């Protein structure tokens, strides 16, 4: 494939619309799946069909006959692709040769077809039998001196049934080392919210969007990363609901959107303006904005206006006085300087918030991926609590999760810090003693690999080494392991960075049928609004020799734990039996799981904060104080820029669908840096010039990425953006939120240096 010429040209049309329709058709053609893909799309997110493998946004009960978006279609087309990676492919390329190829190229080779084992003699992956693969895993795990020398990663596409069994297998084996993609994602939600609201999940359901009187979308690129949510935003705007978008990038779909499924709008080239208020925040400025809004509220309250929900505050919360004192002690000059937002606009945002009787705040990685991400989310909750906006119709906190089942995986046991009550249940239900000490989250697992204390890595999905910070060090650390295992649909970099022994184990994908000795099985997933639904693939598996993830987990367990107390053989075939065990371990959430899941749209897991029941130590919602206005440690360097690493419109995390990002006007290039014109000129740079970036960090390690093209873009001063994962070499492993362990991928302190 000859590289196409880069082109930079602002996108003039509204987001969505014919551009989205055309992109959907294009990807179906590219992957040669027009007929098969179109048929599958009809079943996507419909009762009896499968759940979209892309994002975690819920589907509507009664909305549309088609319930998918452009990016869901891309995810499906890439999963259903005709391209295959067969043994002849591995025969033709050494692993070192494959390392020279781009992530995009690797992705485009297609679906994995059979288990492969690394052969050091030839530096190639060679075919192996499933029995051989599991025996190798068993041998390596049994040979460890301590079960804590193994790291068991999960990526959020894994369904509940496989994730639950994996959590049981790993605990019976003897460790809580569960690094998870969530550790890089919404962990600040999972760890930050429980002390405040008693649960680390959102309190909103889809129906709330129809009743909201104001919606804030903070640090989230809706039109790209959860496009089905655009329907809710469009509906809200048509009702005249104000939408406030808070983002350092003027993301296209947050400005204007054409609903591809709105026949009239499509035919008339119409569109709906989305944000009524665009808040062009500086990177890391959200805490100052939130405190500014609260300050306005406290000031207006002091002058006798009824802007606070005092009954709610008195009955349901603690910490109000301390919060007020902290917020009132902040001064406007600093609030304005740090947020980059004028006092006038902050007052306007506060006014929108005060006028609304029911407000939803949605947020994404722009808020979580900061050094104080968890505490920032806590302040967002405070803002909602001040007007009783949790636990009433049309209001609430809405973390927009990433992977389609990332929330479910956590619910069913993928947790490196398990609660004693849960461990007691596991012991009671399965009859073994699970380990009690905390295990590793993602950053800690990389640290263990670097230190040489980790010896085995098993990746249930995902592309760990490409997703984590400090790419080069992570590669080196992974390469020292004794065994690496990638359980995957597609070939990725994580399979090329391998231990002394290495396996690639290909799985049946979400859109494909799972057949066992007991007939066709289905799996379940939990969306970002706590709905659990069934997912039944409709396509034939991509190859004969693929294995369902559930079976892979069971067979790893059988090979590793010959004296296991768990009836693994049964679960290979009977997914209802797995669900019965989930119900036993989580009686409050999953009682009668096998029955309730039969409802066409599944069921909603209880979220106590929706009922204004606070499972905190005080039994109330606790307004916690976070002093100051900074979510990232200040850097004393006048040249410093804050770099946010973001997703393009044409990627799913480390999977690159194309090298273009049409809404941001970038074609055939991912090595770009979005920069404010004044910042560029101040550095004496020309637009289009190639530069390098260097991280400003205190550990003495040089972190540099070469060959980035500077593009003039409407970024706030001092804020720049570029693409993940290409810029991960700039993200220091130690640059993370201490509460959640989440790398601060949105606020890397960098400086521009000449490209060598």
Ligand X SMILES: Nc1nc2c(c(=O)[nH]1)N[C@H]1C(S)=C(S)[C@@H](COP(=O)(O)OP(=O)(O)OC[C@H]3O[C@@H](n4cnc5c(=O)[nH]c(N)nc54)[C@H](O)[C@@H]3O)O[C@H]1N2
Q: Which of 73, 170, 181, 623 binds ligand X (CB under 6 A)?
A: 181
Which option in Mo ion, ligand X, none does residue 645 bind, with CB closer than 5 to 8 A by kind? ligand X
95 binding partner (options ligand X, Mo ion, none; Cβ < 5 to 8 Å by kind):
none
Lookup result for tokens 């007991």: 518
| Residue 193 binding result from ligand X, Mo ion, none, given CB thresholds of 5 to 8 Å by partner type | none
Quote the least distance from Cβ 118 to ligand X, whole Å.
Answer: 16
Per-residue binder mask for ligand X (CB under 6 A), 520-559, x = binder? -----------------------------x----------
Q: CB pairs under 8 A, 24+ apart, for 433-437?
A: 434/171, 434/172, 434/176, 435/147, 435/171, 435/174, 435/175, 435/176, 437/176
Distance between CA atoms of residues 346 and 351, nearest Å? 8
752 pairs with which residues across the strands? 693
Minimum CB distance to ligand X smaller for 261 or for 442: 442
Query: From the CA atom positions of the chain, what is the Rg in Å?
Result: 25
Q: Does position 45 bind ligand X by CB under 6 A? A: no
- Site for ligand X (CB under 6 A): which residue of 169, 457, 697, 724? 724
Nearer to ligand X, 426 or 643 (CB): 643
Residue (242 or 729) nearer to ligand X, CB: 729
Q: Which of 555, 647, 703, 736 binds ligand X (CB under 6 A)?
A: 647
CB of 215 to ligand X, least distance (A): 15
In whole angstroms, how close is the CB of 152 to ligand X at the nearest point?
Answer: 13
Residue in this structure with the two tokens 């051989």, named with its chain if needed: 132
Contact 688, 25 (CB under 8 A): no
Residues that bind Mo ion (CB under 5 A): 185, 402
Q: Candidates 264-272, 522-530, 562-570, 645-653 — which segment interacts with ligand X by CB under 6 A?
A: 645-653
Contact mark string toward ligand X, 228..267, x via CB under 6 A: ------------------xxxx-x----------------
In the list ligand X, Mo ion, none, the entry touching 291 (Cβ below 5 to 8 angstroms by class) is: none
Here the tokens at position 634 are: 């200040």
For residue 497, what is the DSSP state? S
Of 191, 510, 536, 703, which lies in the binding site for ligand X, with binding defined by CB under 6 A? 510
Does 434 bind ligand X (CB under 6 A)? Our answer is: no
- CA-nearest of 626, 608, 629 to 381 is 626
Q: How far apart are CA 615 and CA 612, in angstroms?
A: 10
Q: Return the number of the residue (285 or 462) whose C-beta is nearest Mo ion.
A: 462
C-beta closer to Mo ion: residue 407 or 560: 407
Which listed option, Mo ion, ligand X, none, makes contact with residue 655 (CB within 5 to 8 Å by class)? Answer: ligand X
281-320 residues in contact with ligand X (CB under 6 A) are 281, 283-284, 286
Residue closer to ligand X by CB (options 319, 364) is: 364
> Cβ distance 505 to 486 under 8 Å?
yes
Instruction: Give the list of residues 6+ apart from residue 449 with CB closer than 8 angstroms, or none.
Output: 151, 457, 474, 477, 478, 480, 481
Q: How far is the CB of 611 from ligand X (least distance, A)?
A: 28
CB nearer to Mo ion: give 185 or 505: 185
CA–CA distance, 21 with 30 (Å, rounded to integer) = 14
Q: Using the minimum distance from each CB to Mo ion, give the nearer residue, 21 or 739.
A: 739
In angstroms, what is the minimal distance from the CB of 371 to Mo ion? 18
Give the binding range for ligand X (CB under 6 A) out of 135-143, 188-196, 212-220, 264-272.
Answer: 212-220
24, 54, 272, 676: which one contacts ligand X (CB under 6 A)? 54
Quick check: 336 and 343 in contact, CB under 8 A?
yes
Binding of ligand X by 366 (CB under 6 A): yes
Cis status of the peptide bond prior to 725, with omega within 30 of 0: yes
Q: Which ranges of 412-470 does DSSP label H, i.e. alpha helix?
A: 420-430, 442-451, 464-467
Residue among 243 and 426 whose Cβ is closer to ligand X: 243
Q: Minimum distance between the CB of residue 244 and ligand X, rounded to whole angstroms? A: 11
Q: What is 105-141 written as a DSSP string?
A: HHHHT-EE-S-EEEETTTTEEEE--HHHHHHHHHHHH
Q: Alpha helices, DSSP H only, in 357-440? A: 365-368, 373-386, 406-411, 420-430
When the beta carbons of 217 and 307 are compared against ligand X, the nearer one is 217
Q: Indicate the residue among 531 and 728 with the shorter CB distance to ligand X.
A: 728
Angle between helices 34-43 and 17-30 (to 10 degrees): 120
Q: In whole angstroms, what is the distance from residue 112 CA to residue 588 CA?
A: 39
Which listed option, ligand X, Mo ion, none, makes contact with residue 461 (CB within 5 to 8 Å by class)? ligand X
Smallest distance, Mo ion to C-beta of residue 186, A:
7
And the tokens for 85?
A: 């990676």
Integer angstrom CA distances of residue 413 from 1, 150, 182, 204, 422: 43, 17, 13, 23, 9
CB 202 within 8 A of CB 194: no
Q: How far is the CB of 438 from Mo ion (least distance, A)?
A: 22
Q: Which is nearer to Mo ion, 44 or 185 (CB)?
A: 185
Residue 366 site contact among Mo ion, ligand X, none (CB < 5 to 8 Å, cut-off depends on kind)? ligand X
Among 534, 644, 708, 711, binds ligand X (CB under 6 A): 644
Residue 726 in the binding site for ligand X (CB under 6 A): no
Interface pattern 452-491 for ligand X (x via CB under 6 A): --------xxxxx--x-------------------xxxx-
Nearest approach in angstroms of CB 723 to Mo ion is 15
Nearer to ligand X, 36 or 74 (CB): 74
3-state helix, strand, coil in the chain (%, to 5): 40, 20, 45
How far apart are alpha carbons 579 and 597 in whole angstroms? 10
| Structural tokens at position 271 | 């569109």
Sheet holding 396-399, edge to edge: 277-279, 243-246, 214-218, 359-363, 396-399
The sign one gets for the Cα dihedral 654, 657, 660, 661 is negative
CB closer to Mo ion out of 261 and 653: 653
| Binding positions for ligand X, rule: CB under 6 A | 54-55, 71, 155, 157, 181, 184-185, 218-221, 224-226, 246-249, 251, 281, 283-284, 286, 364-367, 369, 402-403, 460-464, 467, 487-490, 492, 507, 509-510, 549, 644-647, 651-655, 724, 728, 731, 745-746
């Amino acid at each position: 494939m000859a590289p196409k010429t880069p082109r930079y040209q602002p996108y003039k049309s509204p987001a969505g619309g014919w551009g989205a329709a055309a992109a959907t058709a294009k990807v179906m053609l590219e992957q040669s799946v027009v007929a098969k893909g179109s048929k599958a799309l009809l079943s996507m997110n419909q009762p009896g069909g499968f759940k979209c493998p892309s994002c975690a946004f819920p589907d509507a009960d009664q909305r549309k006959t088609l319930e998918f978006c452009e990016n869901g279609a891309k995810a499906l087309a890439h999963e259903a692709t005709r391209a295959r990676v067969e043994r002849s492919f591995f025969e033709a390329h050494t692993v070192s040769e494959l390392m020279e190829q781009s992530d995009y190229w690797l992705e485009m080779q297609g679906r994995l077809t059979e288990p492969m084992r690394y052969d050091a003699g030839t530096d190639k992956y060679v075919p192996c039998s499933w029995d051989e693969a599991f025996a190798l895993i068993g041998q390596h795990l049994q040979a460890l001196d301590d079960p804590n020398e193994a790291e068991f990663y999960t990526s959020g596409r894994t369904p509940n049934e496989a994730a639950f069994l994996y959590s049981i297998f790993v605990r019976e084996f003897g460790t809580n080392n569960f690094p998870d993609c969530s550790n890089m994602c919404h962990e600040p939600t999972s760890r930050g919210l429980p002390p405040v609201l008693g649960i680390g999940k959102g309190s909103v359901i889809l129906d709330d969007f129809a009743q909201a009187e104001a919606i804030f979308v903070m640090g989230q690129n809706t039109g790209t990363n959860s496009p089905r949510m655009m329907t809710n935003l469009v509906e809200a705007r048509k009702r005249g609901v104000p939408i406030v978008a808070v983002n350092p990038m003027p993301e296209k779909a947050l400005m204007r959107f054409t609903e591809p499924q709105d026949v009239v709008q499509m035919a008339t080239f119409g569109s709906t303006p989305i944000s009524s208020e665009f808040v062009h925040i500086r990177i890391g400025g959200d805490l100052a904005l939130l405190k500014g809004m609260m300050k306005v509220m406290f000031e207006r309250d002091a002058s006798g206006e009824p802007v606070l929900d005092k009954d709610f505050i008195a009955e349901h919360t603690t910490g109000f006085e301390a919060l007020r004192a902290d917020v009132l002690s902040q001064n406007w000059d600093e609030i304005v300087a740090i947020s980059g937002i004028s006092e006038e606009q902050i007052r306007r945002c506060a006014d929108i918030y005060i006028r609304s009787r029911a407000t939803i705040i949605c947020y994404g990685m722009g808020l979580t991926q900061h050094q104080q991400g968890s505490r920032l989310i806590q302040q967002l909750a405070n803002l909602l609590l001040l007007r009783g906006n949790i636990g009433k119709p049309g209001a609430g906190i809405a973390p927009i999760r990433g992977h389609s089942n990332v929330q479910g995986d956590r619910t069913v046991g993928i947790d490196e810090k398990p609660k004693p009550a849960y461990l007691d249940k596991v012991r009671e239900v399965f009859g073994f003693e699970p380990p009690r000490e905390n295990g590793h989250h993602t950053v800690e697992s990389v640290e263990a690999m670097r230190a040489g204390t980790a010896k085995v890595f098993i990746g249930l999905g995902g592309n760990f080494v490409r997703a984590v910070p400090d790419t080069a060090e992570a590669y080196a650390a992974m390469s020292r392991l004794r065994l690496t295992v990638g359980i995957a649909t597609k070939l990725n970099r994580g399979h090329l960075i391998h231990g002394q022994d290495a396996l690639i184990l290909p799985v049946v994908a979400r859109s494909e049928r799972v057949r066992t000795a007991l007939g066709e099985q289905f799996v379940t997933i939990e969306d970002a609004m706590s709905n659990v639904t069934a997912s039944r693939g409709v396509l034939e598996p991509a190859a004969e020799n693929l294995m369902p993830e559930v079976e892979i987990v069971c067979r790893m367990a059988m090979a590793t734990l010959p004296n296991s107390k768990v009836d693994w053989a049964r679960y290979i075939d009977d997914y209802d039996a797995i669900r019965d065990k989930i119900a036993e371990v989580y009686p409050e959430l999953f009682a009668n799981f096998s029955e309730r899941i039969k409802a066409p749209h599944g069921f909603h897991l209880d979220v106590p904060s929706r009922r204004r029941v606070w499972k905190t130590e005080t039994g109330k919602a606790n307004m916690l104080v976070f002093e100051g206005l900074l979510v990232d440690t200040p850097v004393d360097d006048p040249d410093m820029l804050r770099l946010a690493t973001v997703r393009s419109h044409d990627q799913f995390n480390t999977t690159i669908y194309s090298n273009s990002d049409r809404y941001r006007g970038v074609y055939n290039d991912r090595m770009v840096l979005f920069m404010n014109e004044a910042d560029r000129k101040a550095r004496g740079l020309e637009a289009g010039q190639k530069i390098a970036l260097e991280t400003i960090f205190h550990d003495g390690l040089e972190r540099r990425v070469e060959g980035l093209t500077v593009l003039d873009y409407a970024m706030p001063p001092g804020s720049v953006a570029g693409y993940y994962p290409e810029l991960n070499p700039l993200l220091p492993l130690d640059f993370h939120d201490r509460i959640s362990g989440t790398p601060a991928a949105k606020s890397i302190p960098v400086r521009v240096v000449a490209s060598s």
